[in-house]
A = this chain, B = another copy of it.
Amino acid sequence: MALENRHVDCIIKLGGSAITSKQHLEKANTQAINIAASHVHEMTRKCVIVHGAGSFGHFHAKKYNIATGFNDTDFEQQRIGFSQTRLSVTKLNHIIVQALIEKDVPAVSISPCGLWKTTDRSVTSTFLQPINDLLRAGFVPVVHGDAVIDTSLGCTILSGDTIIQILAENLCPKRIIFITDTNGIYDRPPHNDDAKLLRYISVTKDGKVTNEIETSQLEHDVTGGVQTKIASAAHIVSKCNIPVHVVKLGSAAAWKLLDKGELEESDIATTITLQESEYPK
């Protein structure tokens, strides 16, 4: 791990649910995006931002089956669908970059399409040089979930969570912060009266979550987002030994984490780390 001359301290994931109105097609939550931009402005740290698509992109991706690749029957229409998906996610990316620049954050958009390729939906080719170059020059790269070329399926969707995993492995940041629309990870869907926020989650070296999280209930989570988020975080923690924090956009915990780089005992958030016994001696 290239810990010397580190060009990035933090990777920030802006969750699609936090920055868009998921129920309304292509509706950005501009108030939330402005708060997120203020979060980043407050940081003195070098960071990369990765954002989800929320209500951008998903509609077109689903209509044209972009995630599962091209098929023989409606290939021409799928190509248009691929283009529409990209146009939609870059529209959101543009709104976010604009909000960041308005807060004096030198943000530069980097789209994965063309640079990242998959084979059977697994990432097999990346090109991280642009992100490194921009970081070295003092910019804040803004990457996003995207429609990409898949060498076996023709095309697929590359999620922001997958991007985060690969960036974590290659850029070795000190921490990763998922900025979301919830206070953190709960032991069951937060709308349940008895749901408890998990302040700490620990992960074994082989990526298993050791906390008692009621997975069966999580599986019924309509958004499907929490389980993916935990899996993604567990992967990062186990593979890179980088702590992952999940905080609510605009919360005191988010401000503190971004400003100071750490949380206090009283802060409401979830921190996911490697199980203590698993740390290298």
By a beta-carbon cutoff of 8 Å, the part of chain A in contact with chain B is: 75, 79-80, 82-84, 86-87, 90-91, 94, 97-98, 100-101, 104-111, 113-115, 117, 127, 129-131, 133-134, 137-139, 149, 154-155
Contact = CB atoms under 8 A, between A and B. Distances in A.
A231 to B, nearest CB: 29
A91 B94 contact: yes
Given A106-B82, A114-B129, A154 B139 contact: no
Contacts of A155: 137
B94 A114 contact: no
Given A137-B155, A154-B137, A155-B137, A97 B111 contact: no
Contacts of A111: 109, 111
B130 A113 contact: yes
A7 to B, nearest CB: 13
A87 B139 CA distance: 13
Contact of A130 (B115, B137, B139): B115
B83 A108 contact: yes
